[in-house]
Structure formats: C-alpha cells, structure tokens
Structure 1
C-alpha cells in the first residue's frame, strides 16, 4: 500500500485529465453493455411486430445507435490519445525526479553503482511505469465495470447458469493469483538482467578506443555475450511462466463456453430458458470474458511496471549522505585560509585512507601534496568541497566549518583542475561557459586567453562554436586541459585544487599549461597534487603524505636538506626520470 500511495501521488497534477479519462471509460463500458440489451428489446419487442411497425421505427433505432457509437468513438479517442499523454507526462515527471536525485547523491553512490544500471532505471524502467500509469486505472476500471455490469445482466437472465460461471471464474482467479506471484519474481530478475546488458554496452562503448588499441574485441564480445545470455535466460524463464499463465487462463475460458453450451442447452431442453435469452446470454459472456482477458494480459504490464517502480523508489528514497544543514549559512567573502584539524577518513569501514591529518594553509599560498600513489592526496582534496565527508575531525575555511555552510556556496568558492578532463557534448564555447553559466562572449574569450587557448580556437574553422566530440575526442589532451583551465578562470574561485593537471601531457603542452596554471594560481589559495616534482619547486610548502599520514613538510630547499623521502624522489627525477608514478612507500 505504501508503494501504491507513492505511485498515486504522480497522478495529482493531472487529476482533471484522469477523471475525464475515467468518465470516458464509463461511457465506453455503458455502450458495450447496452448492445445486448438493445438486441434483447428488439428481439422480444419491435421485431415481433408487423413489417410496417419495424420499418417505421428501425430508422430511429439506427440514428440513436449511430449517435451512441459516435460518442463512443470520441471517448475511445480520448482514452487512447490523452490517456497515453497523461502517462507520458507522469513518466517525464518521474524521469526528472530520478535525474535530480542522481544529481543530489554523493560520490559514494557512484563509487558503488554502474552507469548502465542507472541509465536502465532512467529509460526502460520508466517506460514500463508510464504504460502502467495509463493502462492500469483504465483497464481495471473498464474491466471491473464490464464484469460487474455483465454479471448483473447474466444473473437477470439465468441465476443457476450464472452461479456455474462464478465457480469457474473463482477457480480461474485462484490459478491467476498463484502464478502471478511467480511471475513477479521473473519480471524483477528481468529488470536486473537488462540493466546488466546496458552496463556492458555502456562500459564497452565508453572504452572503445582502449578496446581497439588492445585488439580486445573478442574479450568484449565474450563479456557482452555473457550479459546477453543472462538476459535471454531471464526472458526465457519469464516467457515460460507467461505461457503457463495464458494457457491456463485460456483453459478456464474454454470451460466457461463449455458450461454455456452444455448447461444452457439443458436449461432450454427443460424449458427453464428460451433460445433468445440463451443468445443474449452468449453475447454477455463475450462482454464478461473480454475484460477478464484484459485483466489477465494486464498482469504482465503490471508486473513490469511494479518491478520498475520499486527500482525507481530504491533510488528516490535514498537519503543523500552529504546535504546542507537546516541552518547552513552562505560561504561569503572567502579569504582562502584552510585548516585540517585531526581529519580521518575511510571509504569503507575498517580501511582508513587518512589518519589524523593536521594542516594549515594560509590564504593566497600554494601547498603541494606529494607521496606514493594511493597515499590519500586526492582523497584529502576531495574532502574540501565535500565530495565526501570526514569520519573524524573538521575542515575549516576562514575559521568556518565546511559542514556549516551550503554546498553550493562552498563549491562555488573552489575550482578543480584534474588530470582526467571531462568535456561535455557541445561546442568549445559551451564547455568553457560551464564555469559560469550565463557568461558573456567577452568573458569566455578573456578566460580562453588567460588559459593560452584562444589562438588555437581562432584557428579552427568554427572557432568557439567548434564541436568537441563525445568527451572531447576531437581535441588533444593538452587542448582539453587548457579548456578546463579556461573554465576555472571563468569561474574565478578563491580556492584552487590542481590534481596532477600536467602529469599526462607532453613537455610542450606542459610548458603551455604550467604558464596558465601559474597565472591561475596567482593570489589564490592553491593545493597542488603532483608526481612531477619539478613543477612544485616554488610552492610555499610541500607536504609528503604516505599511507594517509603526513611524514614530511617544508619548502623545497628544506626537504632536500632533510634528505628524506622527498629528496629521494626528487633525485630520482633529477637523474633523468622526468616523469614517474610513485608506487613504493
């Protein structure tokens, strides 16, 4: 019932449309129920009169029935068209709610869930829910109305024969309920398996360049084949269950017709029923069985929609673990002082990534984080904009706990330049403007100039309107990196995080980008994560982080003099290893 109430809430914006849809459904049902009664009246009344009376009134009957079916036609049109439009609107609302929920969820959710599965919930699941939203109330309402109406008329014609039909119908309903429970499990499994197919496709197509570079098409074929076969097996089990369901219900429908012929024939033989009444009774049996069939077929649609809506609620009802406090303040007039006070963090319980970190960064200063890969440098930086929340301790900006300020104002004050640059589908202009929605062309051009990318853009045929391709495939790594820097220039944050922003670039690109980063860092509090130590020699402070703990700190000159881990890594680089990743402790 809880799930049902939540589903009903999506009808509220379309109440008038829904009620009129149900009104049209009543009209359609009344017209269908009326025909056998009209035929009975004509058979027992008008058609027993003389030729002149029949000819005189048959035209009036024809006009009335024509008008009746014209009205039914318009009602049927409204049910089919606007009923589906209502369902599509509800689907759109649910999709927007689900997308917004995806936006609210923190990084930890994305660490544990696959994009293909999320896409499945956003597209295919919601289509099934939309079909249920439209056809569900309509099918139930029309079918119930027709079943009850035809049952009443059947009882008026012959109570004994109707009681026999009731017994068969009850047996059929018990059979349907038993198989219905089994079908629900197959449809739920089916939703999971198609999500697996989507995940395999998304993973393979997103990494198609890696696939082809390693000539691993056969491996991807096998991976997809496995997901595809799992889905096929699920569908096979589903269709076997559906086969039993439909075959069983067809058998019971056959029993209904058998009961009419045998029992009805006996009642006629013993004078308890006349032939005309049996003919009308047979017409009402058709009206009685058709909605029963509709309800039976609707079960498949219901199970798909129900399974999809449960998966939808699984996401919608998740409480984001990083949200604003009720009394959260705006972070204003940011100077850029950052304090880590006894900060500890772990992604999973029992596996600490950071332990008792204490760091003070003065505004406008540049601090570099170095150390072995996996030591916790990127994690430390991810805690500042609250991509994750600390397990213990506090992070302060200008003396204000970041948990006490709004996420939007906090993140608007922080600019991040990462090694893996993400380019959105669209133009270069769109991607730069992402740093400040609504920015003027002049502001975008100025940001591009500051990032040393303007001249390159102007050489392109379409300039700033050049399409970058999916994930920026038409641009080199250095070009994408400079566009991402222009994006941050446009944002103009008070705090800057540079996460290995030049480690994947060639020497020439690095020189261009290093100049851009130096310009970007000027007068901003800057945290730099670097494996290429030559780029951080001039940092105000260098902090060595090993296994989630700070082991050394000082400027370049001091750390070289200490002859510790930093000096060891720097000398390795100085000896010719100009670019390396640090894997050892």
Structure 2
C-alpha cells in the first residue's frame, strides 16, 4: 500500500463498515471485565431511574389523597435515595468508562507508533512529518469522545430507553404507542446526519494534517532559517492563514451539519407531553377508560426521562458515524505493510566478529504509484570485508555509494543478492543483533533537544558518567563539552544548532563509540567540514575505527588512502578496485578523482 491521495478519501458508502465496526469492538476486548461492570452499573442505574415515577404515582394516587403520611414519607425518601444511588452509579460508570477509553487510545497510539518505527526509510522520505504527527495527535485525539464516553453512552441510553419504554407500557399501552409513533422517522434523520458529518470529518482531518505539516516544516529551526534568508516569512504566514481559513469553514460545516434536523427532533420530543395530555383528555371526554392523575403525571415523567437518553442515543449514532472517518485513517496506518520485518525464526549472534560480504547485490528504489520497476541503483556488487578490515567506496554523486551503505544495517533490503555479516544474511538476523553489530556515522548528525549526556546515552542507556566522558575524550570533544557552562548537562538545542558541524560530528562519533559496534559505516562523515575541523574529526574517526570492520563512503579521497581496499562505483556498478597505490598506478577513474580532489584542495588554499 502506497501513500497517495486516493487512500485518504473514504468512499461515499463504505461496504466494509461492518468489518470496521467489528475491528473497533476488538480494541475493547482486553477490557471486557471492566466493561461488564460498567454494563451492570448502567442496568442498575436505569432500573433505579424507572422506579421514581412509580413512587410518584403512589404519592399522587394513594399517599396524599388518603392522608397516609407514613407512606408519603417513605416514598419521598425512596425518591431521594434513588437520586443519590443514581448519582453514585453515574460517577463510578464515568470513572470506569473513561479509564477503559483512555487505555484503548493508549493502545492505538502505541500501535501506530510501533508500526511507524518499523516502516522502511522510503516511507518517511515520501511522507510529510506533520502528516504522521497529525495521525497520532489529531486523529487519535479526535476519537477521545468516542472511546471514552460514546460506547458507555450508547449502552446507558439504550438501556434507559428500553427500561423506560417497558415501564410506560406497564402504565398505559395506548399512550406509549402515541409516544413512540415518530421514533422511526427520528432514527432515519439521525442516520442521514451521521453520514454527512462523517464525510466532513474526513475532510477536516486531512486539512488539520496539512496544517500540522506546515507548522512542522516552517517553524523548525531549518524552516525558520530558510524562510528568513529567502524573504518568505510573510508568504508562509499568508499560506498558513489561507489553510487555517479553510479549516474554519470545515469546522463550522462539521458542527452545523444536520443541526436543524436534529433540533426539529428536540422540538417534537419537547412537545410530546402536550400531546399526551391532549390524548388523555380526548379519551376521557369521549367516554373512554379514565386515566388517573398519578398515572398521567408518572407517564409524562417517564416520557420526559426518556427524552434525554433518546435524543442522546440519536446523537451517539451520529457521533459514531463521524468517528468512523477517524478510525479509518488510523487503521490505514496500522495496515501499512512492514517491508522490513524481523524473520519468523531470527538468528541471534552472540559475539559478532564483523566480516561483511556483498554477494551479487542489486537494489532498485520503489517508486510510489508507479507500476513500472525503477532503474536499478546498484547491480552485480560482489565485495568482501574481513573482520577488522577497511573498505572505502568512492565515486561520483548518484553512483549508489550511500545506498550501498544503507543495505548493511537494513535501512533498505536488497532486491537481489545477499548482504552477510559473519556469513549470515542480514535479513535473517534479529533486529537486536543487527543494531548491536552495525553503527552508522553519517554526514547528517541528528541530536535531540536534550542534554549532551542524554544524547550520548541514547546509544547506551545504562552508560556511566565515566563511560560517557571516556567516549567523548576518544572523539576529541570532551574538552569542549567540559568548558560549557553546564558541562554534560548543557541542552543541545533543537537538532543541535548550538554546536558547529564538526562538534556535532564528534558528538555522533562519541555516541557510536559508546555503542561499540564491531561493524562501522562512515557515510561521508567529514564531507561538510573545513580542512582544519576535518583533521580533528578524522582523529576521532581513527580512534573509533580501530579494531572494527569499517566501510567508508568517501567524498574527500584524502580520508581513505590507508583503506585495505578501495572500490570505485559508477552507475551502480564496481568499475575499479584495489589499494590507493594500485589504483593510482592504473591511472583510471580513481586517479582522475584524486587529481580532481587535489585541484580542489589547491583552490581552497
């Protein structure tokens, strides 16, 4: 399933809705014990509510006319007790249902986050960050009313309506028929309103996702820098205002959809007591069987008591239909196929020596929405790096160097051939072994908005302070950190903007030293640095590489002269291989790259 616009638009009539409802109900299965208790409280509450009108009838028809003060006091106390019990049951019911609802939302959030953590890198390169955040925050947040109160409200109101209808039949079946005559019409109206709101809700959530993406992109440190240096701050504000204006319209439409029709139901419901009094008066005036005042007042009281849950029940139906759009969006993420999955019987290596082999490796990027296979980025790659050895991969931009390095830690899976660590296909290794075995230091260093120590501990959560300092010393960054006002407790700042490029690189190297992987991938780790900074970082890299299997993706060839083997990639294929001296003597593609590099250094000087 690919991320395209067609996926996000629900069809006008969803034939899979019953299956979707069953899937929603399965979310509540782990909490069926608590839900059963809620059901008992609801049933008890409904029975207590229905008892009050019968006590009222006895007060009006028996206790007051016959002057029985003892019975009157008992019935009055009974009505007060019913109100107290009902209130206590309501609080307990709310506590249990809210707890269950919040647990279900937690389960959904965790499930979506877990699924996204297992998505391939390609998914995130074609999906806006704000869109992902909106699914977790806005869509699951929008379901709060549904999962915390709607299910309980449905059971509670349904039980109340049924119990009240039975009680009304017990009092007078003729008046009951008059009261329930319009109920099918009300149900039809509410279903139609629900369909309208579901459609609008889907559009509103998409618009919220667009706005979340704009905020994430334009109000990040990089977005602010780009917007201001390009003079686009006002333009971005206008764009955001325009999208916000669209959301206003959708919010108004969502709230007003079917409002007049639902208010008509309310008016009719409110007018029903007058109809009942009229019907009772007509029946008595035409010589029909009389209805006592107590029965009439008790019946109207029951009917009024039925009015609130009946309208609430219709509104709940509308709310559930509306929520289907939100559940649909969440289920779309949960149903995304995991391209890079852990094998059913994963291989777990105890001690990883670090031998890496590429056997006839081929790779082609998947093109979303296209049925045609894309041109291969890599093909026919056969390489072997012995444990503790070093391999350098050089070549022009777009030759597939970085892609080759992504295959070792399984950021992508090969489309042909195999990548092996210690003779085991990386696709057969369990994720923990693979993460332990391979460390990556790339040109783009990502740092969290946390302290320096916390950023380093991300690699090894149980690292001691001394281990952190030792790793920083090896990475040539300890003295700089120690000189900061708060030392290792200094906040790094959003994406590490408090540190220079070279400092961030050395922090990344210190983090990898803490991780202590036997296989190290260096993806153009010094290409963005000036010569002096590069020298300091290179010293840190040398300390990191010692005794490890190292695969270096090189931009500056001066950093790879001492590699055990250098391969030249061009057009996704190996065109040359050998040591630095051998490749220079061959005077081929590598020698041309070295001359180009030397020219650049001279120009820089």
Same fold flag (TM > 0.5): yes
Superposition deviation, residue 435 in structure 1? 1.8
Correspondent of 1:399 among 392, 416, 423: 423
Q: TM-score, normalised by structure 2?
A: 0.89
Partner Cα separation in structure 2 for residue 543 and residue 226 of structure 1: 52
Q: Which residue of 2 aligns with 1:333?
A: 351
For the pair 1:17 / 2:34, whether they are aligned, the reply is: yes
Partner Cα separation in structure 2 for residue 382 and residue 242 of structure 1: 53
Superposition deviation, residue 414 in structure 1? 0.7
RMSD (Å), alpha carbons:
2.4
Whether the 8 Å CA contact 1:335–1:398 is kept in 2: the answer is: yes
Q: Deviations over 1:464-507 (max 9, x none)?
A: 12221222222222211111100111111111111111112233
Whether the 8 Å CA contact 1:341–1:358 is kept in 2: the answer is: yes
- Could you say if the C-alpha distance between residues 83 and 557 of structure 1 is closer, same or farther in structure 2, counting changes exceeding 3 Å? same
Superposition deviation, residue 420 in structure 1? 0.8
Q: Which residue of 2 aligns with 1:479?
A: 503
Q: Deviations over 1:112-170 (max 9, x none)?
A: 32222222222222233332223223211221122112222333344334323333111
Partner Cα separation in structure 2 for residue 69 and residue 258 of structure 1: 26
**Which structure 2 residues correspond to residues 143-542 of structure 1 after superposition, within 5 A?**
143-206=157-220, 207-250=223-266, 252-253=268-269, 256=272, 259-260=275-276, 262-272=278-288, 273-274=290-291, 276=293, 277-348=295-366, 349-542=373-566
Superposition deviation, residue 244 in structure 1? 4.4
Q: Which residue of 2 aligns with 1:57?
A: 71
Partner Cα separation in structure 2 for residue 218 and residue 300 of structure 1: 41
**Which structure 2 residues correspond to residues 61-210 of structure 1 after superposition, within 5 A?**
61-206=75-220, 207-210=223-226
Superposition deviation, residue 421 in structure 1? 0.6
Partner Cα separation in structure 1 for residue 602 and residue 303 of structure 2: 86
Partner Cα separation in structure 1 for residue 299 and residue 272 of structure 2: 12
Q: Deviations over 1:488-542 (max 9, x none)?
A: 1111111111111111223322111011111211222111112222222222222
Partner Cα separation in structure 2 for residue 553 and residue 295 of structure 1: 74
Q: What secondary structure is seen at the aligned counterpart in 2 of 1:320? A: coil
Partner Cα separation in structure 2 for residue 244 and residue 67 of structure 1: 38
Q: What secondary structure is seen at the aligned counterpart in 1 of 2:376? A: strand
With 441-450 and 129-138 compared, the bigger mean Cα shift is at 129-138
Unaligned 5+ segments in structure 2 are: 1-17, 367-372
Q: Which residue of 2 aligns with 1:30?
A: 47
Aligned length: 577
Partner Cα separation in structure 1 for residue 375 and residue 337 of structure 2: 24
With 544-553 and 339-348 compared, the bigger mean Cα shift is at 544-553
Partner Cα separation in structure 1 for residue 489 and residue 262 of structure 2: 57
Q: TM-score, normalised by structure 1?
A: 0.92
Q: Deviations over 1:358-412 (max 9, x none)?
A: 2222332222222222221111111111111111111122222212221220221
Whether the 8 Å CA contact 1:544–1:566 is kept in 2: the answer is: yes
Q: Deviations over 1:227-260 (max 9, x none)?
A: 3244334334323424244234335436645643
- Could you say if the C-alpha distance between residues 226 and 579 of structure 1 is closer, same or farther in structure 2, counting changes exceeding 3 Å? farther
- Could you say if the C-alpha distance between residues 85 and 333 of structure 1 is closer, same or farther in structure 2, counting changes exceeding 3 Å? closer
Partner Cα separation in structure 2 for residue 300 and residue 572 of structure 1: 69
Partner Cα separation in structure 2 for residue 243 and residue 500 of structure 1: 60
Partner Cα separation in structure 1 for residue 201 and residue 342 of structure 2: 38
With 109-118 and 461-470 compared, the bigger mean Cα shift is at 109-118
Whether the 8 Å CA contact 1:345–1:355 is kept in 2: the answer is: yes
Which segments of structure 1 move beyond 6 Å, counting only runs of 4 or more?
Answer: none
Correspondent of 1:42 among 59, 63, 66: 59
Q: Deviations over 1:431-468 (max 9, x none)?
A: 11222221122211111110011111111222112221
Partner Cα separation in structure 2 for residue 475 and residue 158 of structure 1: 81
